[in-house]
Chains A and B, each alone.
Chain A
Amino acid sequence: MRVVIAEDSVLLREGLVRLLADAGIETAATVGDGPGLLGIVDEHAPDLAIVDVRMPPSFTDEGLRAALAVRERRPGTPILVLSQYVEERYATDLIGGGAEGVGYLLKERVSDVADFIDAVRRIAAGGTVIDPEVIGQLLGRRRTGDPLEALTPREHEVLGLMAQGRSNGAIANDLVVTEGAVEKHISNIFMKLDLQPAQGGHRRVMAVLAYLGRADA
Chain B
Amino acid sequence: MGELSRDSGFPGTAAGGARRAAPGGGGAAATVFDGAWRPLAMARSSLTWRSALYLATSFAFGLGWFVTLAVGLTLSVSLLIIWVGLPLLAMLMVAWRFGAMLERFLVQAAFGVAIPAPYRRMPPGRNPLVKLRAMAADQATWKDLAYLLLLFPVALVEFVVSLTVWGATFTLLFMPAIVGFGSGGVEVNLGVFSYWAGNPVEALPVSVGGLVFLVLAMYVTRSLAVAHAVIAKLLLGQSVSQAENRRLRERTAHLQASRARGVDAAEFERRRIERDLHDGAQQRLLAVAMDIGRARAKLDDDPEGARTLIEQAHSGTKEAISELRDLARGIYPAILTDRGLDPALSGLAGRAPVPVEVEVDLPERPPAAVESIAYFIVAESLANIAKYARATRASVRVAREDSWVVVEVIDNGVGGAVARPDGGLSGLADRAATIDGMLIVDSPPGGPTIIRADLPCTW
Contacts and interface: CB of A to CB of B under 8 A. Distances in A.
5 contacts: A84-B325, A87-B335, A88-B347, A108-B325, A111-B317
B247 interface: no
Interface string B326-357: 00110001110111001100110111100111
A142 B325 contact: no
Contacts of B321: 108, 111
Contacts of A60: 334, 337-338
Interface string B100-138: 000000000000000000000000000000000000000
Given A85-B325, A111-B321, A136-B350, 19 more contacts: A61-B338, A85-B334, A88-B346, A88-B350, A89-B335, A89-B339, A89-B343, A106-B325, A108-B318, A139-B350, A140-B349, A140-B352, A140-B356, A141-B346, A141-B356, A141-B357, A141-B358, A143-B357, A144-B359
Contact of B314 (A111, A136, A137): A111
Interface residues of A, number: 23
Interface of A: 54, 60-61, 84-85, 87-90, 106, 108, 111-112, 136-144, 215
Contacts of A84: 325, 328, 334
Contacts of A89: 335, 339, 343, 346-347
Main secondary structure of the interface of B (DSSP, over half): helix
Q: Is the interface of A mostly helix, strand, loop or mixed?
A: mixed
A137 B351 contact: yes
Given A60-B334, A89-B343, A136 B351 contact: yes
Interface of B: 314, 317-318, 321-322, 325, 328-329, 333-335, 337-339, 342-343, 346-347, 349-352, 355-359, 393
Given A108-B322, A111-B317, A140-B352, A85 B343 contact: no
Contacts of B334: 54, 60-61, 84-85
A213 B284 CA distance: 35
Contacts of A108: 318, 321-322, 325
A145 B347 CA distance: 20
A136 B335 CA distance: 17
Contacts of A144: 357, 359
B350 A85 contact: no
A87 B347 contact: yes
B292 to A, nearest CB: 14
Nearest to A213: B346
A152 to B, nearest CB: 15
Contacts of B352: 140
Contacts of B339: 61, 87, 89
B321 to A, nearest CB: 5
A138 B322 contact: no
A140 B351 contact: yes
5 closest A-B pairs by beta carbon, nearest first, are: A137-B350, A140-B350, A89-B343, A142-B355, A108-B321
B350 A141 contact: yes
A34 to B, nearest CB: 13
A183 B242 CA distance: 80
Given A108-B325, A111-B317, A136-B350, A85 B355 contact: no
A178 B339 CA distance: 42
A11 to B, nearest CB: 14
- Among A84, A87, A88, the one with the most B-chain Cβ atoms within 10 Å of its Cβ is A87
A137 B322 CA distance: 16
Nearest to B355: A142
Nearest to B317: A111
Nearest to A108: B321
Nearest to A85: B329
A87 B357 contact: no
Contacts of A112: 318
Given A136-B351, A138-B350, A87 B356 contact: no
A108 B326 CA distance: 13
A109 to B, nearest CB: 9
B284 to A, nearest CB: 13
B356 A142 contact: yes
Among A61, A85, A139, which residue has the most Cβ atoms of chain B within 10 A?
A85
A139 B339 CA distance: 20
A177 B226 CA distance: 82
A90 B338 CA distance: 10
A89 B346 CA distance: 9
Contacts of B359: 144
Contacts of A140: 349-352, 355-356
Contacts of B337: 60
Contacts of B333: 85
Given A85-B325, A111-B318, A142 B351 contact: no
A162 to B, nearest CB: 17
Most chain A CB within 10 A, of B317, B322, B343, B351, is at: B343
Contacts of B355: 140, 142
Contacts of A215: 342
B343 A87 contact: yes
